[in-house]
Amino acid sequence: MTTIDSSKHKKAKALKPGSVRPAKELCSECGLCDTYYIHYVKEACAFITQRIDELETSTHNRPRNLEDENELYFGVHQEMIAARKIQPIEGAQWTGIVSTIAIEMLNRGLVEGVVCVQNSKEDRFQPMPIIARTPEEILAAKVNKPTLSPNLSVLEQIEKSGMKRLLVIGVGCQIQALRAVEKKLGLEKLYVLGTPCVDNVTRAGLQKFLETTSRSPETVVSYEFMQDFRVHFKHEDGSEEKVPFFGLKTNVLKDIFAPSCMSCFDYVNSLADIVVGYMGAPFNWQWIVVRNDTGKEMLELVKDQLHTQPVMSKGDRKAAVQQGIEAYDKAVTLPMWVAKLMGVVIDKIGPQGLEYGKFSMDSHFTRNYLYVNRNHPEKLEDHVPEFAKRIVAQYKLPE
């Protein structure tokens, strides 16, 4: 185990905006290097030293059970459920379970602040991380900013504020770096509420995605790659636009995902106490993974505000994943009518619930494994966690 040096970090200097980060092109702009915690970057950066296995054990008090298929895929957990808010938060990404947990924690005095990400005044997709101290500030951070977001750039403010109890909301790469410096933050209690995350982009990449995929890029307020194999765009006027995955312009879009996200294997946010996403749940439900007792405590706070049901699993993903690997590698784009037809067929007979979650993970892990092998072969062995190696080994990959 790597031990982190005592608190000399305050003498370290944050990097200036725009300067090259230690992880170079693989940097996901998690924000750590915008603070004096850059002192720990070698041990903390998910792209310099991958430490999921070790940090999973120290965070959840046990390693992931690789022999249990659900743990192999979704990480250490005590419980998984499907859930929806009885009264959804308008304008949230899904029904607003993430914002609701954060608000309850603040209102009940469990935490003094919540690290979350609002958007800048000028641009609804430009992330602006903050430490929220009121429910209004948490609500103003609702909905995904589908771009790389420097959530950890507020870490210095935590130490300076003297806060002792904190909730951090974030995605996998941010949470790995956070867990690595957790003991240096001077907190009595840290709660971590994660979301899954995949295929993230820079702000410029997002613009290209919107322009090549949506009928009206300038009015999109949010979007999601849904379990019905379509991208659902929500527009300002409340209308919804659906574009089948298979009709996406793969040849144009191949380069838009950030190199960090093409090299990422922490789709399910392994080090959070609780994870709230959608991909392991039936269509239109959210999916909650409780990893440890702290996560359980967080879920209990909001259970009376949720409809819940057990998770389910249906279908067989394997053939679709294998075909997808080859189609993606050849950058095949189907004519729109074929894509729509395929979307409908797969929606009716394809993987659902946990099987859909595994479909998405298989597809992304195989793609990312190929990317690392082709672009950073020297990193492959150490960078890919054991669970991801086992998942990828189920498929035949092109050279």
What distance, in Å, lies between the first and last C-alpha atoms of the chain? 35
Say whether residue 32 binds ligand SF4 (CB under 6 A): yes
CB-based contact 369:329 (threshold 8 Å):
no
Residues 234-273 that bind ligand SF4 (CB under 6 A): 260-261, 264, 266
Task: Return the sign of the alpha-carbon dihedral for residues 323, 328, 332, 334.
Answer: positive
Partner from ligand FAD, ligand SF4, none binding residue 173, C-beta < 5-8 Å depending on class: ligand SF4
CB-based contact 209:253 (threshold 8 Å):
yes
Our CB check for ligand FAD shows the closer of 124 and 374 to be 124
Residues 135-194 that bind ligand FAD (CB under 6 A): 141-146, 149, 151, 169-171
Burial (CB < 10 A; 0-12, 13-18, 19+), residue 209, is buried
Residues 224-263 that bind ligand FAD (CB under 6 A): 224-225
Tokens found for residue 271: 């080090």
Cα–Cα nearest to 145, from 171, 118, 175: 118
Say whether residue 39 binds ligand FAD (CB under 6 A): no
Which of 27, 117, 248, 281 is the binder for ligand SF4 (CB under 6 A)? Answer: 27
CA distance 229 to 243: 9
Closest residue (Cβ) to ligand FAD?
Answer: 277
Site string for ligand FAD, 257-296 (x = CB under 6 A): -------------------xxxx------x----------
CA distance 152 to 34: 8
Tokens found for residue 151: 């959530």
Our CB check for ligand SF4 shows the closer of 30 and 288 to be 30
Say whether residue 30 binds ligand SF4 (CB under 6 A): yes
Which of 14, 41, 111, 220 is the binder for ligand SF4 (CB under 6 A)? Answer: 41
CA distance 256 to 258: 6
Which of 28, 118, 222, 294 is the binder for ligand SF4 (CB under 6 A)? Answer: 28
Say whether residue 220 binds ligand FAD (CB under 6 A): no
Partner from ligand SF4, ligand FAD, none binding residue 47, C-beta < 5-8 Å depending on class: ligand SF4
Least distance (Å) between residue 171 CB and ligand SF4: 4
CB-based contact 28:173 (threshold 8 Å):
yes
Our CB check for ligand FAD shows the closer of 38 and 114 to be 114
Say whether residue 75 binds ligand FAD (CB under 6 A): no
CA distance 274 to 104: 15
CA distance 321 to 318: 5
CA distance 88 to 105: 18
Which of 31, 75, 96, 343 is the binder for ligand FAD (CB under 6 A)? Answer: 96
Query: Which listed range, 58-66, 167-175, 211-219, 299-307, lies at the site for ligand SF4 (CB under 6 A)?
Result: 167-175
Cβ contacts of 144 within 8 Å, gap of 6 or more: 93, 195, 222, 224
Angle between helices 172-181 and 52-60 (to 10 degrees): 70
Binding site for ligand FAD (CB under 6 A): 89, 92-99, 116-117, 127, 141-146, 149, 151, 169-171, 195-198, 200, 224-225, 276-279, 286
Binding site for ligand SF4 (CB under 6 A): 21-23, 27-30, 32-33, 41, 44-45, 47, 148, 171-173, 177, 197-198, 200, 260-261, 264, 266
